[in-house]
Amino acid sequence: MTALLLRDLKLSVRAGGGALIGVLFFMTVVAVIPFGVGPDLNLLSRIGPAIVWIGALLSALLGLDRLFQTEREDGSLDLLLMQEHPLVLTVLVKCLAHWLGNGLPLVIASPLLGLFMNMDEVAIGATMLTLLVGTPALTFIGAVGAAVAVALPRGGLLVSILVLPLAIPVLIFGVSASYAAVEDPAPFMPPFLILVAITMFFAVLGPLGAALALRNAGD
């Protein structure tokens, strides 16, 4: 399992792995927003957390189709299916590796984008924290979509369409927790704890569903 984790991590960081592309896409999405809504710093600081979250959501979707696709292409997916470890665990480890390679860089890049958006320190900290807690849920949900679409020739777009509706609760609670940290009357903890709960829930459901789909997608 550790070997699988390290292997996936190496693959995602090295050239062609797509980890850096995700961060670049994240930055590009966020950078495009001021062009769309105008360079009004007050407005940007107000919508900042939402923009950063949406950017992170989109770029988390971007790399998802690679989660099982490359394994299927070179045949190692069959090896993973055949080994003695429960497939659920294998999928969980692959999700973790994918998150470390694609999700964590987004979290690390988010404070910089927060500065671009003229957010204050508390808001940046809260957004970063919610992203840290929320992005694993995106990966787990995405794993189901990636497993479902693994056999399709051009599954990338379909994965996004299938996964986005399920990812909406994550977005809702992530953004509302970020806002709650900035605006006084709303408490920070309830939405944040719900976000944690969603992540835990999908940490169970995601690998289970993905393993089931992978077993069934085989020919």
Please give the residue ranges that form the binding site for other proteins (CB under 8 A): 144-145, 147-149, 151-152, 155, 158, 161-162, 164-166, 168-169, 205, 209, 212-213, 216-217, 219
CA trace torsion 79, 84, 86, 89 (10° rounding): -70
Closer CB to other proteins, residue 129 or residue 171? Answer: 171
Closer CB to other proteins, residue 109 or residue 166? Answer: 166
Closer CB to other proteins, residue 129 or residue 198? Answer: 198
Least CB distance from residue 128 to other proteins, whole Å? 26
Least CB distance from residue 160 to other proteins, whole Å? 10
Least CB distance from residue 207 to other proteins, whole Å? 11
Least CB distance from residue 212 to other proteins, whole Å? 5
Closer CB to other proteins, residue 39 or residue 153? Answer: 153
Q: How far apart are CA 160 and CA 142, in angstroms?
A: 8
